[in-house]
Amino acid sequence: MDIKAKIKQLPDTYGVYIMKSKSGQTLYVGKATSLRKRVSSYFLSGVSPKTWALVANIADIEHIECTSEEQALILEAALIKERKPKYNIALRDDKSYPYVEITNEKFPRVFISRPKKETKSMLLGPYPKAGVLRSTLKLVRRIFPYCSCKGVVRRQCLFCHLKLCPAPFAGKISATDYHENIKGIIRILKGERQELIRNLTERMQRLSAECRFEEAALLRDKISTVSNLYQGRSLTHELLALRDVLDLPSIPLYIEAIDISSLAGKEATGSVVVFRNGTADKDSYRRYRIKEVSGIDDYACMAEVVQRRYRRLKRENKPLPDLIIIDGGRSHAQRAKEELNKLAIGVPLIGIAKRDEEIWFPHREKPLIIARSNSALQLIQRLRDEAHRFARKYHLLLREKKIIEASSFQSSAISYRKAKNKLKADS
């Protein structure tokens, strides 16, 4: 396929593009809000001589889709660091461009600046767009919280309450751990992903060896989130948003959703769908034929599936999910939670009611209303819809099987009657 035909097939999404020579050498790495439009612009008339020199050597173009411009910026930095493309030239040292400034203090502060004079602070950049840089720092801050307040603040600020600042001046974090956060920020912005993941993994293993399992689990979450930043189109933002909006104790890397499907209480089925790291793990899906409930009782059906599913996981000593989503309102969530309590399982659980897409907690009298545009709600909806699809598919399969069996029995009965009547006639 020639280059122009390949460009036409590029998606109109965020992403990173990689231009290569005939020998496979990486010539240029760039990011875009629209891969198709951005890459096409290189082949228009009137471009600079430098761009023409690049275009003349392009033999192939690869791309990686991303969920946002911020993720594309982070992935671009990593690829440039690793591949050292011939035509990637840093922006001029123009002080009008924004930088990330990290102060030289006991507890370094991190913020965006446009330095006008020499400073002892570390400067990372420059970056072409302050808005994208600001959003990128918000994303990074959720993984590695940092202080940005001026001066010595000995009280917890709003960022502390939002878990975006570890309150180092208030003694909420050790100097060693805080500096590890700063190192993580620097490595992400410099594109040093391999060094970052290796460092986090070594720390996690050390904590596990010391039986500090809660701290090790937090680092496990960080490793997964950082890895997702470099996986192209991922659900990093959705998982972080889901943790924050539901106030979960950890990032929900492993989620299960449950739904019931039946018609007038007949051929009732249940489904459990599994998402890991924000994507469907279809090999782990499970379906259940309701055995213990007769008639129309959606709550009892839900209770049966929950009880069978998590009794088995517990008996086999398998990992439990970080979050369980039930298709239904408060009563469904309460009934499911009762079954978990019987099994002494404390996994967070919510219900989602179809009509108004309300989020129900078993212990709350009022629902949580999440904006339809919020990525956390969209992830919950996607899980709920997948559970519904899987349960209905099994339900329809059982109905079809029953119809075939009934039809077969009816045909056999008719054949029997015909044969019997023929015998009578012959006699």
Q: Which of 114, 110, 89 is nearest to 99 (CA)?
A: 114
Q: Is residue 205 part of a domain?
A: no
Q: Is residue 202 part of a domain?
A: no
372 & 275 share domain:
yes
Number of C-alpha atoms within 13 angstroms, CB side, residue 121?
A: 22
Element (H, E) at 400: helix 375-426
103-114 b/e with 16+ CB inside 10 Å = b? beeebbbbbbee
Are 387 and 288 contacting, i.e. CB atoms less than 8 angstroms apart? no
CB atoms within 10 A of CB 166: 20
112 & 18 share domain:
no
Q: Is residue 14 part of a domain?
A: yes
The pLDDT, as a whole number, for residue 116 is 78
Q: Compute φ and ψ for 31, nearest 5 degrees.
A: -115, 160
Single residue among 57, 83, 109 that ends a domain in this structure: 83
- Tokens of residue 288, six digits: 């259940």
Cis peptide before 126 (omega within 30 of 0): yes
The pLDDT, as a whole number, for residue 263 is 64
The pLDDT, as a whole number, for residue 92 is 43
Partners of 178 in beta bridges: none
Number of domains in the chain: 3
116 & 67 share domain:
no
Q: Is residue 129 part of a domain?
A: yes
Q: How confident is the model at residue 237 (pLDDT cuts 50, 70, 90)?
A: low
CB atoms within 10 A of CB 2: 6
pLDDT tens by residue, 149-167: 875 555 667 788 888 899 8
Q: Which of 102, 106, 134, 105 is nearest to 115 (CA)?
A: 102
Q: Is residue 328 part of a domain?
A: yes
Are 243 and 213 contacting, i.e. CB atoms less than 8 angstroms apart? no
Distance (Å) of CA 110 to CA 92, 127, 142, 227: 22, 15, 13, 23
Distance CA 179, CA 94 (A): 29
Q: Is residue 237 part of a domain?
A: no
The pLDDT, as a whole number, for residue 93 is 44
What is the domain-level CATH number for residue 312?
3.30.420.340
Length of the chain: 427
Token match 């209905």: residue? 392
The pLDDT, as a whole number, for residue 400 is 66
The pLDDT, as a whole number, for residue 405 is 54
Segments forming the whole domain that contains residue 371: 254-401
CB atoms within 10 A of CB 193: 21
Please provide the average confidence, as pLDDT, over all residues in the chain: 86
The pLDDT, as a whole number, for residue 96 is 67
Q: In terms of pLDDT, which residue wins out, 261 or 362?
A: 362
From its phi and psi, is residue 247 left (phi > 0), alpha (psi between -120 and 50) or beta?
left
The pLDDT, as a whole number, for residue 416 is 46
pLDDT tens by residue, 313-327: 999 999 999 999 999
The whole-angstrom distance between residue 4's C-alpha and the CA centroid of its chain comes to 33
261 & 394 share domain:
yes
Distance CA 216, CA 204 (A): 5
Beta strand extents in 201-277 (DSSP E only): 254-263, 266-276
Q: Is residue 351 part of a domain?
A: yes
Task: Kindly state the average pLDDT of the residues 261-271.
Answer: 74
The pLDDT, as a whole number, for residue 181 is 95
Q: In terms of pLDDT, which residue wins out, 425 or 399?
A: 399
Q: Is residue 51 part of a domain?
A: yes
The pLDDT, as a whole number, for residue 313 is 95
Distance CA 384, CA 394 (A): 16
pTM: 0.57
The pLDDT, as a whole number, for residue 415 is 56
pLDDT tens by residue, 273-294: 999 877 788 889 999 988 887 7
pLDDT tens by residue, 335-381: 999 999 999 999 999 999 987 899 999 999 999 999 887 888 989 99
